[in-house]
Every structure is written in structure tokens, then in C-alpha cells.
Structure 1
Amino acid sequence: QVDVKTGKIKKSVKLSDDYFGEGISVLNGKIYQLTYQEHKVFVYDLNFKKLPQEFEWPYEGWGMTTDGKSLILGTGGSNLYFVNPETFKIERTLGVTNNNVYVSMINELEWVDGAIYANIWMTNDIIKINPKTGLVEARADMIDLIKNSHQHADFDINENYLNGIAYNAEKKTFYVTGKNWPALFEIKFN
């Protein structure tokens, strides 16, 4: 838990050095934590106490969100997986396409007002995905945000791309950040 105004960590869980955390989601009073290449999903209560329940995940973990019923996981490819939070069985696979071409490198997921928002890894793009059809309904390029906020000469935009999005439901805003970015930005889409 982080205070977004100060950046101060209010509450945290130390993940073993054997694991790389790649996404969390809160569903049914539990926190689910996805790992990157270790094929694990850990489960905590809302006080950050690790629960005995944990799941094997057969793919790399690149992002996770929830629609309030299922967990939705990305693997860095073009598919998103809707997973039962109690059994961790895949209920449905959704292929993501834009203009009849599969979209890959889907990273970092957020569920907002009936749509899935995702960052495309190694780009500065955020896409809005229809969760029924898999079609990309909108795309936002964050390059101007990056260019206008990182003026120093040694900041390479091509290497320090967007790599994090989170949604604030109370304010209806997104927080975005990236590799080596010195700041977290709060934005609103029209």
C-alpha cells in the first residue's frame, strides 16, 4: 500500500528473492499476486497475511486484473485468460486483435467500467480492450507525456518506456509510470 502523494510505502509484503512479482488484484476479500516466470499465484488476506491457498500458473505472468467475478491474466502474448479465483481453472480465453491482427506483448491490466485497459510492453501505448470480443476499441500514446516530462539529455525514451498503469476508481483517473521514470503521473482519458 503506497501513499500516491508522497510515494511513502504504508504497508508491504516481502516477496522471496526467488520470485518476481508481476501483478496484483483484489477479489472477494483476497489479494492475488502473480509471479513472472515462477508459475505461481500467491494469495493474501486484506491485511497482507499470506494464506495457505496458492496456485500454479502454466504460463509467464505479465499482468492481472479482475472483472469482479474472474481473475483476468495476461502472459505477454495476444491472449487473456479468465480464471476462476477458487480453482484457478481457465474459464475462457480471449484473443486480442486490432484491425484483424493479433496484439502481442500485452502487459499490465486494469478493469475499468466494463473494459480492459492494458499497456503494450516496450511501447508507450495503452489500449482499451472489449472483454467480450477482444477487439481493441481505443489506443492512447503516452509519448508526449514522456517527452514533456523528461527533458534531460541522458533519458532515452526508447529504453525507458511506459510500464505501469493503475486505476483510481474514486477519482476515475489512471496512474501511469515507466522504466526509470522519476515520477508517477495521474491522467484521465476522455
Structure 2
Amino acid sequence: MVHFNNIPVYSYDIINTYPHDVSAFTEGLVYESDYLYESTGKYNESTLRKVDLQTGEILKLHKLDENYFGEGITLYHNKIFQLTWQSKVGFIYDKESFALINKFYYNTEGWGITHNDEHLIMSDGTDEIFFLNPQNLKKVYSIKVHDEFKPITRLNELEFIKGEIYANVWRSDKIARICPHSGKITGWIDLKGLLSHKEYKNAGTLNGITYDSEKNRFFVTGKMWPKIFEIKLI
């Protein structure tokens, strides 16, 4: 294993690939029971969708109002929480029907969202990660993310895996592994080379992390990528 500034750097093996809609500007990704729940961005194109992992078929689709730029999502107690980028409003949907249950408001940008057993966990593109009360969506506390020397910013799509926060770093091929208590980077995952040079021509940045806890499977994708990758960290 390589180390950078005393922090381990993980590489990957590709275990499987699955089809992904190349028009999907991926902002949030959640796995549950062979389905993916995905949030896509861009004004007048933002959606919430349920997708068959194996085939890539879109099974359910909700289009956001043209004024909203969809961002991260998380699935918590059969509800889907979806952020928007600069509108300072999030949406809560019923998981099965995608019916809107409620809205919530925040005073920063919305980037990524995930949860642990106790809190919703949200990023806003800075080095700060917010822990929210899932009942009233109020901030309980926050942490500042840093390596040995400096703050780590542009934290985007989030996933909580085995006690750590995993975060895409926007406009990079790297995922940060973060201690949820101290904010310290515990590892970097370098995903350079996942897409071939040809595939990268039309694709955007790496964005989208989700985890199948039952089968210990780790999935990643990116904005307008043709594939979702199941990877193993090495």
C-alpha cells in the first residue's frame, strides 16, 4: 500500500461493471436490494430515479422543477432525502411512490448527503461536514475535514461505510475516507483509470459512491459515465 503524507492510499480491482445512463449528471447514489436510487443535476434536467442495477433500466422517475439543481440523496427509514445545490431547500419523498412528503431548508449550498444510525450527514462543498437531526433537519454539530497539513475542501457525494465517511472530492479521481469524530483523513482511494481514455471524452467527473452492506459490495460512478463499477479496494 502506498502512503501519502503518512495517509494510506488505496487502489482498486474492478469486480463488475453495470450499465449507466450517459445522460445522468450523477449527484447522489444509494443502493438497496439490487436497485439504485439516483439523483441527477443541472437546471431543467434534475431528477430522482430508481434504477435496476443489472440492466440500467429506469423504473421510476421524478423530474424536479426547472429552477432546482438536484444534488445528493440518502435513504433513511423508507424516506428519500434529496438536496438541491443553491436553492437552500431539500425534499423528502416516500421511497416507494416518490410522493413528496415534506421540504426542509438549510443556509448553505447542498452537495452530498448520507447518514449513520443517529444523524443525517451533509456536505456543502467546503471542508465542513454537518450532522443533522433526522427529525427536524436542524444542525446538531459539524466537523472540519483535514489531512496532516491542510483543510480538505470540495467534499461532494457522501457515503457512510463501516464507521467512516467516504466523500468524492469534486473534480478529482479521489475519494476521501474521513473519521466522523475528528474530521481527519484516514485514507485516500485513487480511482484514476476506471474509465478508458475513449470513454472519458464525453464523461464528467467521478461522482457517486454507494455500498451494499449485505454483500460487502462497493459501487462508484461519475457524471454522464457509461458504467457503474463494482470495485474492491486494495
In the TM superposition, residue 188 of structure 1 has moved relative to its aligned partner by 2.1
CA distance in 2, matches of 1:129, 1:68: 17
What do the CA deviations read for 1:33-66 (whole angstroms, capped 9, x no partner)? 1111111111112222111x21111111110000
Residue 9 of structure 1: which of 58, 66, 70 is its match? Answer: 58
**Counterpart position of 1:70:** 119
CA distance in 2, matches of 1:123, 1:86: 34
Select the structure with the greater relative contact order (CA < 8 A; seq sep ≥ 6): 2
How many pairs align? 184
1:154/1:173 Cα in 2 relative to 1: closer, same or farther (>3 Å)?
closer
In the TM superposition, residue 10 of structure 1 has moved relative to its aligned partner by 1.4
**Counterpart position of 2:100:** 50
In the TM superposition, residue 86 of structure 1 has moved relative to its aligned partner by 1.5
Residue 184 of structure 2: which of 135, 139, 146 is its match? Answer: 135
What letter matches 2:180 in structure 1?
P
The answer to whether residue 215 in structure 2 is matched with residue 152 in structure 1 is: no
Structure 1 runs (4+) greater than 3 angstroms displaced: none
Residue 222 of structure 2: which of 168, 175, 178 is its match? Answer: 178
CA distance in 1, matches of 2:61, 2:117: 23
**Counterpart position of 2:3:** none
1:91/1:163 Cα in 2 relative to 1: closer, same or farther (>3 Å)?
same
**Counterpart position of 2:208:** 164
Residue 74 of structure 2: which of 25, 39, 58 is its match? Answer: 25
- Would the aligned equivalents of 2:199 and 2:226 in 1 still touch at CA under 8 Å? no
Give TM-score, length-normalised by structure 2. Answer: 0.74
What do the CA deviations read for 1:156-177 (whole angstroms, capped 9, x no partner)? 8xx8331222222222222211
Q: Over aligned residues, Cα RMSD in angstroms?
A: 1.8
Instruction: State the secondary structure of the residue aligned to 1:152.
Output: helix
What letter matches 1:119 in structure 2?
N
Gaps of at least 5 residues in structure 2 are: 1-49
CA distance in 1, matches of 2:80, 2:104: 13
Percent same amino acid among aligned pairs? 39
| Higher strand proportion | 2
- Would the aligned equivalents of 1:95 and 1:134 in 2 still touch at CA under 8 Å? yes
